[in-house]
Amino acid sequence: PTSPGGRRSQWLVLAAAFLGWMFDGLEMGIFPVVARPALQELLGTQADQQVGPWMGFITALFLVGAACGGLVFGWLGDKLGRVRAMVASIVTYSAFTAACYSAGAAWQLGLFRLLAALGMGGEWALGVALVMECWPESKRPLLAGVIGAAANIGYALIGLVTWIIPVRPDSWRWVMLAG
């Protein structure tokens, strides 16, 4: 049996992983909402022939970054400890999402999205690993599902916010900063 202090730790780890995945979902949902207005401003055009390829390229960078982030931050978790590495991964995706606010060119937006995704991918791996390490084996499948569902709450949250406050070419930067 787990001590009361151990149960509190379990719940704190679960809450941290849940919130981390929720904000990862929000992070993943940001770019589809801001991509068109952001790239229209950064490229100085309304033309889909120029905006579309950049949207695809930046989305691909984000996916590559997330995969690499799981590897990099997973390795850091083994070297520095999972909690420290998870904190670093969250700071990474928060800082580089905020850095998108200052992007002056499409390539800069792509670079910041790639770096943000590194942190996000690290949080995916580390959050689940921490929960699986501190909860009993019988609870792990349910908790993995709960954590995974948290990303959908983040998607819904960014959808709700941008439904209430529509994103335009002159307002997309604030959405990235809020992310």
Q: Distance (Å, rounded) from C-alpha 151 to C-alpha 25?
A: 4
Q: How many residues does the chain have?
A: 179
**48 is written with which tokens?**
């889909």
Full-model pTM: 0.86
Q: Over 60: is that where the pLDDT of 1 sits?
A: no
In this structure, are residues 120 and 28 in contact, taking their beta carbons and an 8 Å threshold? yes
Query: How confident is the model over 42-74, as pLDDT tens digits?
Result: 999 988 899 999 999 999 999 999 999 999 999
Alpha carbon distance 142, 161 (integer Å):
29
